[in-house]
């Protein structure tokens, strides 16, 4: 028996039914929408810091004279 267990189709169905009973049908889409927005904001922040020049090597420093 492997140490890492991946749920199959039937197990996922049971988990989905338990979530439906706990949260109700109306709250699950709102919960998923909130998770999606959080992931989008996280990705935006990660990719935004790379493209805005926040790294020390790309920061503008005072230029020396001519």
Mean pLDDT across 19-41: 86
* Residues in Cβ contact with 51 at an 8 Å cutoff, skipping those fewer than 6 apart: none
Residue with tokens 């992931």: 39
What is the per-residue pLDDT for 65? Answer: 54
Residue 27 is assigned to a structural domain of this protein: yes
Stated pTM of the model:
0.43
Residue 24 CA, chain-centre distance (Å), reads: 23
Mean pLDDT across 16-40: 86
What is the per-residue pLDDT for 64? Answer: 61
Residue 56 is assigned to a structural domain of this protein: no
What is the per-residue pLDDT for 24? Answer: 81
Which residues form the domain of 14?
9-49
Element (H, E) at 42: helix 27-51
- Domains held by the chain: number: 1
Residue 54 is assigned to a structural domain of this protein: no
């Amino acid at each position: 028996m492997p140490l890492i267990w991946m749920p199959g189709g039937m197990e996922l169905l049971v988990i989905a039914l338990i979530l439906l009973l706990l949260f109700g049908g109306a709250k699950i889409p709102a919960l998923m929408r909130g998770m999606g927005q959080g992931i989008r904001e996280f990705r935006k922040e990660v990719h935004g810091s790379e493209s805005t020049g926040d790294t020390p090597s790309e920061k503008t420093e005072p230029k020396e004279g001519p």
